C-alpha cells in the first residue's frame, strides 16, 4: 500500500510540476511580448508628442517645414521624417535644445550592433546642417521598431500620399505606421 501511495503521489507531483513549469514559461513569454509592444507604444507616443509640438512660422517657411523622405512601404520601410519642434519629445534629459526650437530627424538606421533601430537626430532649427550629417549626434530609441512608414494627407487630391513636396509647410494630417 505504501508503494502504491508513493507512486500516486509521485505521479501527482510530476503533473503539478509540469503544469507549473508550462505556466511560468507562458508567463515569461507573455511578459517579453508585452515589453516589446510597450517599446513600440513608447516610440509612437513620442512621435505623437513631437508632432503635436511642431512649430511653423511664415517668416522663414523653408526653415520650419515638414520633410518626408520615402523609402518604400511595408515592414522594411525606413522613411525619414523631419520637423521643427518646441517640446522635449525624443530629447535626452540634459539636452540644451530642450529649452527652444529644434529640428528633429527620425528614421530607422542600423545601430552599433547592426540591428535596425529608431534613430533620432536633433539640432538647432536655424542651423545650416545637412540632416544626414555625421556631425549631428544621433541616438537610438528602440531596436524593437524595425520599420517606419509615413503618409500625409493631401487636401487637393483628397488622398494619402507617401511624398510631401510642400516642404515649406506642415501637413494637417500625418499617418504613421511602425513595424
Least confident of 8-12, 71-75, 87-91: 71-75
Least confident of 29-33, 76-80, 127-131, 159-163: 127-131
| Threshold 0.85, pTM exceeds | no
Average pLDDT, the chain: 87
Mean pLDDT within 1-15: 92
Collect contacts of 53-59 with beta carbons under 8 A, ≥24 apart.
53/85, 53/86, 53/87, 53/89, 54/83, 54/84, 54/85, 54/86, 54/170, 55/84, 55/85, 55/86, 55/101, 55/125, 56/84, 56/169, 56/170
pLDDT value for 164: 87
Contacts of 52 (CB under 8 A, 6+ apart): 87
pLDDT one-digit tens code per residue, 21-55: 999 999 989 888 887 777 788 889 999 999 999 98
pLDDT value for 165: 82
- What is the band of 87 on the pLDDT scale with cuts at 50, 70, 90? confident
Amino acid at each position: 500500500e505504501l508503494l502504491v501511495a508513493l507512486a500516486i503521489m509521485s505521479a501527482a507531483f510530476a503533473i503539478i510540476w509540469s503544469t507549473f513549469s508550462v505556466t511560468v514559461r507562458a508567463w515569461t513569454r507573455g511578459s517579453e511580448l508585452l515589453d516589446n509592444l510597450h517599446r513600440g507604444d513608447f516610440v509612437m507616443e513620442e512621435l505623437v508628442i513631437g508632432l503635436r509640438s511642431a512649430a511653423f512660422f511664415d517668416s522663414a517657411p523653408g526653415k520650419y517645414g515638414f520633410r518626408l523622405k520615402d523609402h518604400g512601404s511595408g515592414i522594411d520601410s525606413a522613411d525619414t521624417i523631419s520637423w521643427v519642434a518646441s517640446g522635449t519629445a525624443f530629447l535626452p534629459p540634459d539636452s540644451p535644445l530642450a529649452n527652444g526650437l529644434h529640428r528633429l530627424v527620425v528614421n530607422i538606421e542600423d545601430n552599433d550592433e547592426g540591428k535596425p533601430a529608431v534613430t533620432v537626430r536633433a539640432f538647432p532649427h536655424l542651423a545650416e546642417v545637412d540632416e544626414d550629417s555625421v556631425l549631428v549626434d544621433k541616438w537610438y530609441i528602440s531596436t524593437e521598431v524595425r520599420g517606419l512608414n509615413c503618409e500625409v494627407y493631401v487636401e487637393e487630391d483628397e488622398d494619402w500620399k507617401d511624398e510631401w513636396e510642400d516642404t515649406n509647410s506642415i501637413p494637417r494630417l500625418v499617418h504613421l505606421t511602425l513595424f
